[in-house]
Amino acid sequence: MTRYVLNRVALGLVVLVGLAIATFLIIHLVPGDPVRQALGAQAGPEQIEQVRDQLGLNDPLPAQFWQYFSNSATGQFGDSFVQNTPVGDLVGDRIAPTALLIGYGLLVAFLIGVPLAILAALKPNSAVDHAARLVATFSFAMPLFWLGLVLALLFGLELDIFPVSGYETGVGGILKTLTLPAVTIGLALTVIVLRTLRSGLLEVMQSDYIDAARARGLSERRIVAKHAMRNAVMPTLTIMAIQVGFLISSAVVIEQVFQIPGLGSLLVESVERRDYEVVQTLVLLAGATVVFVNIAADILQAALDPRVRLAGR
């Protein structure tokens, strides 16, 4: 098991280094100069050169990368040149709304997806089954910003249950302001929970040990909850772990639609201004989250299913 975990972690680190290199190259090679952008049309070439020198932007790219890499590895993310603020502070200021949004979105997806999946699996090809899958597929297929706007129109403007945009802190404030955005993300994800869990359950429900459980006279509820779910939930967990990337990118879009001051909107602003340090840090953070969640899912799966960890040898 230890060997398996180490294996996964080492692989994750390789991915992160690759991501750091790719992000660095993309943001530095794309046209657009943060200094020029900040100083405007009138700044003379000498002034621009002077600021570029101060920021180390005139050093050779490999030197700049090494600087960035060694700093990042020790947890120093530098200062945002544009905002004149440490990147750590900027991220710290805005991480909570994004984390809450993603967590809440996942919760919504499970709250809607799991019961529907069970219903659908117990009565495959019933009206409930088809309707559930249709609605879920529909909301998945909608562009997120559009789905968000429709929900804001419906529950914000028409029914006046939630505010149409903004963010407030505190439990009440979060429930008030993050519910619509979380439902938007949750609805889009529901189809994944629904479909994977439904097919997992369907398969498991036809297996011999379920027949055996039935033969022993266990109640259907107990069979599903205790015996079938444990096995059926595995593929769902794996797929949800892969979907973390989707969740993070959804947050970028949804934060714009609902004006949530999170990391997603910070990323958009920073890319527009070519705020190198902030963009690099945010992308690395997002990448690290995806890698971490995937490792965690792998380990969880290995813990639940010995076949997985043995195969990893």
- Kindly list the residues in this chain that would bind other proteins in the complex (CB under 8 A): 30-33, 36-44, 47, 82-84, 90, 93-94, 125, 127, 130-131, 134-135, 138, 146, 149-150, 152-154, 156-158, 160, 163-167, 256-259, 261-262, 265-266, 269, 272-274
* Partner residues linked to 85 by β-bridges: 80
* CB 212, min distance to other proteins, A: 32
CA 160/CA 168 separation, integer angstroms: 17
Confirm if 97 and 262 have CB atoms less than 8 A apart. yes
Residue 165 DSSP class: S
Closer CB to other proteins, 165 or 238, in the complex: 165
Tell me how many degrees the CA angle 76-14-275 measures, rounded to the nearest 5.
40
Residues 6+ apart with CB under 8 A from 142: 150, 188
Closer CB to other proteins, 77 or 258, in the complex: 258
* CB 165, min distance to other proteins, A: 5
79 membership: H or E segment, kind and range: strand 79-80
Closer CB to other proteins, 4 or 81, in the complex: 81
Nearest to 82 by CA among 26, 39, 29, 30: 39
* CB 41, min distance to other proteins, A: 7
Q: No. of H helices and E strands in the chain?
A: 15, 2
* CB 260, min distance to other proteins, A: 8
Nearest to 259 by CA among 181, 188, 182: 181
Closer CB to other proteins, 17 or 175, in the complex: 175
* CB 216, min distance to other proteins, A: 34
Closer CB to other proteins, 18 or 32, in the complex: 32
- 3-state secondary structure (DSSP) of residue 244: helix
End-to-end CA distance of the chain: 9
* CB 133, min distance to other proteins, A: 10
Closer CB to other proteins, 102 or 152, in the complex: 152
